[in-house]
Amino acid sequence: MSAFADSLSQELAKLQEKKLHRQLRLPHGLDLSSNDYLCLSQHPQVLQGLQEGIRLYGAGSGASRLIRGHRDVFAEVEACFAEWVGAETSLLLANGFAANLGLINAIANPKTTVYTDRLNHASILDGIRLSRAKRKYYNHLDMQQLQRLCEKDAHGTAKIIVSETTFSMDGDIPDLQELLHLKQKYNAVLILDEAHALGVLGEKGAGVCHLPEYVKQDLANIDFRVYTAGKSLGLEGAFVACSQQAKDYLTNKMRTFIYSTAPMPCIAHAMLTAIPLLQSMQAERESLLQNARFLVESLQAMGYDTLDTQSQIIPVLLPDEAGALRLSQYLQERGFDIRAIRPPTVPQSRLRISVNAGIQRQDLENLLAHMRSYQAKAE
């Protein structure tokens, strides 16, 4: 065995020992772990739109959009999406990781200070790292600490504030009004990642920025909003919603856009079906969120810590990695596809339950019954 192969074996053994080793597993049982929140990945109209897109455009795009990969359907879906979320325009990319990483790398530099929630997604943190900007963490949702950090750098530095609007592992939501206030007070650029809010929260599912408590003029004060199509829209890809000037800049400076093969045009065509369909699904949104609230309250009554989730994402905190794996396996053996999430993805091991529109109240009652049985056996 070579020295390199030996080092890999040692590292894998350490992960196994700490119960942090991961393996690919196929979907199995009732979906309570994916991000397909409105079940559009299997919706007949979306599948028909995808098939139609293949007939119209073929499969792949063949090149980056600045070479030969651009299609009229990309401009069409960018305009459609921007209208939905109340932006001047938007830019379509291959996925959310590429959108966050490329955006931050394009607008930040070593003279920039980026203020990031400690629990922001890895794509955000990697974008900051790649840009070589000065990174300052603030504790999760702690607006007072964020203000103190901004105040220390009140003069002489370009600032970017970045936060998710619905955190992917905790399900909670930041104080958007305070983020807007600090952005204006300290003349910062504000980036909001709406990936897990899109389709579920806000008017017509347009995200946290479209909740009733936020007035429309707030949108103009948010420099960039990042959305993914691989969650509630049931497809793949991502959008950066921004001004026309900012889009022009990103088209010329964003490396994950410039140097990536354009998305499959058939997927963009299917988005033209998925977007209006998702907008119309208000009853499904309401049912989904009611079921999520029922599950949260029931789990809390059983003594589980679900943090401060305000969405369809429900963390069930557990004391250690081994316990998270045992409960996950117990539930999967009984037909519930719920995965254990462990460090370094999260600070504390947990089950991450995500409720989707296909879940019925009886499904959740069955899940709770099995969790009570597990508790009883563990006592």
The predicted pLDDT at position 290 comes to: 98
Q: Please give the model's pTM, rounded to 2 decimal places.
A: 0.93
Q: Stretch 244-262: mean pLDDT, rounded?
A: 97
The predicted pLDDT at position 155 comes to: 76
194-246 pLDDT per residue, tens: 999 999 999 999 999 999 887 665 788 999 999 999 999 999 999 999 999 99
Catalytic-labelled residue, pool 33, 168, 328, 354: 168
Alpha-carbon gap, residue 234 to 107, rounded angstroms:
29
328-340 pLDDT per residue, tens: 999 999 999 999 9
**204 noted as active-site residue:** no
Catalytic-labelled residue, pool 78, 117, 193, 284: 193
Per the structure block, which two tokens stand in for 179?
A: 């983020």
**193 noted as active-site residue:** yes
Residue pair 15/21 in contact by the 8 Å Cβ criterion = yes
111-169 pLDDT per residue, tens: 999 999 999 999 999 999 999 999 999 999 999 999 999 999 877 789 999 999 999 99
Question: Which one-letter DSSP state was computed for residue 261?
Answer: B
Q: Stretch 305-316: mean pLDDT, rounded?
A: 97
The predicted pLDDT at position 217 comes to: 56
Per the structure block, which two tokens stand in for 313?
A: 């994402």
**34 noted as active-site residue:** no
**253 noted as active-site residue:** no
Catalytic-labelled residue, pool 43, 121, 136, 269: 121
Residue pair 66/251 in contact by the 8 Å Cβ criterion = yes
For the chain, the average pLDDT equals 95
Catalytic-labelled residue, pool 36, 164, 223, 284: 164
Catalytic-labelled residue, pool 43, 183, 196, 269: 196
**What residues are paired with 351 via a beta bridge?**
316, 340
Catalytic-labelled residue, pool 33, 35, 95, 232: 35
**168 noted as active-site residue:** yes
Q: Stretch 272-285: mean pLDDT, rounded?
A: 98
**231 noted as active-site residue:** yes
Contacts of 199 (CB under 8 A, 6+ apart): 37, 38, 205, 231, 232, 233, 278, 281, 285
Per DSSP, helices labelled H in the chain are: 3-17, 44-57, 72-85, 96-107, 122-131, 143-152, 176-185, 217-220, 244-253, 255-258, 265-279, 282-301, 321-333, 361-378
Alpha-carbon gap, residue 83 to 70, rounded angstroms:
21
Catalytic-labelled residue, pool 183, 231, 247, 269: 231
Closest by alpha carbon to 170, among 368, 321, 351, 30? 351
**41 noted as active-site residue:** no
